[in-house]
Structure 1
């Protein structure tokens, strides 16, 4: 589904975050344990989530460095009942870059955790697999969404429009804090009719 599997067919090799367990009395150190995955929203109405989203900010990934502006993701139901994915952006040479894939829902309780696959992309070719897309926050009117993955390596601010107001950005910033990420790791994504510069989200 979704913009974090955009364009270049290379996968980022990044370590999952770890935390150190509290020290017990008389013990000098303890083994690290994995941080729990970010919590999904309690309920995602898929029919409201379908359609086109603009990427307004993201944690940089190797596979979307080719994108200069106007990065979008369009989702629709396919004949099998899964979600078809079409990611597009304008490149630095003013061309169009596009990739298509499929998303399947892994979490029937909330509908907000999915596995996204892209034919021909190493490690992402299988239609079924572990969750790699979690909707962690949503505007009440589905005007914006915050998306990450179980390791918090990726992050995407999506919007139904090319621009958001100050109150919406404040809500998004708070959502990023809650999920355990830094706003400064997110870079804004230039969009026609929206932000024109690439800058850390914490400075905007």
Structure 2
């Protein structure tokens, strides 16, 4: 391949990555993230394919600076499904870049069961948050209440659009 063609190809593949804003938030306080969060919207996700409504997550901080999570949802069969999970920071204890798993503890030794869980947006009062991965393939919008106020929700959508997310892919999560 000619050098100038190679340089042009390299530039066209690298520029989108350089143009994308930084993804994870700069400052994160894990203790403030603990408690109940309601899923208000998400990109469709195979791991939650049976969840049709009432999805929530209860986070607790451990002494090892990991977050335990209990995810609950109402399934398409009408039952409440509950899964136990774990989110651990990548880097320091207050890193917004985490990896999470809902695999059984004995499987957690396998790297393949861990998935990126990055806090990409959170308001100053820790009432609305967005979680994704570095490639922007997943997205969950979380709220401390089942029905956040529309102004705050629209502001979150605007910030996510500025971060390069396709908000048209979001599906709303029915909450009671």
Give the gaps of 5 or more residues in structure 1.
Answer: 1-25, 193-204
Match of 2:161 in 1: 177
Q: Specify which of 103, 115, 131 is matched with residue 119 of structure 1.
A: 103
Unmatched segments (≥5 aa) in structure 2: none
TM-score by length of 2: 0.82
Say which of 17, 24, 47 aligns to 1:35.
17
User: Residues 30 and 61 of structure 2 are in contact (CA less than 8 Å); yes or no, is this contact kept in structure 1?
Assistant: no
Whole-Å separation in 1 of the counterparts to 2:65 and 2:94: 17
| 3-state SS in 2 of match to 1:162 | coil
Q: How does 1:28-107 map to 2 (within 5 A)?
A: 29-31=8-10, 32-33=13-14, 35=17, 38-107=22-91
Give a deviation string over 1:35-71, Cα, whole Å, max 9, x none.
3685211111111101110000000011111011010
Change (3 A) 1:175 1:127: farther
Instruction: Say how many residue pairs are matched.
Output: 166
Distance in 2 between residues matched to 1:80 and 1:142, nearest whole Å: 22
Q: Aligned-residue CA RMSD in angstroms? A: 2.7
Deviation at residue 110 of structure 1 after TM alignment: 5.3
Which runs of structure 2 are paired with 1:107-146 in the superposition (5 Å)?
107-108=91-92, 111-120=95-104, 125-126=108-109, 132-146=116-130
Matched, 1:149 2:128: no
Q: Which runs of 4+ in 1 moved over 4 A?
A: 127-131
Compared with structure 1, are the counterparts of its residues 104 and 68 closer, same or farther at alpha carbon in structure 2 (3 Å cutoff)? Answer: same
Q: How far 1:177 sits from its partner (Å)? A: 0.6
Report deviation, 1:100: 0.8
Q: CA deviation at 1:118?
A: 2.6
User: Is contact 1:41–1:110 with CA below 8 Å preserved after alignment?
Assistant: no
Q: Aligned equivalents of 1:80 and 1:113: distance in 2?
A: 16
Distance 1:96 1:109, change over 3 A: closer
Distance 1:169 1:80 in 2: 33
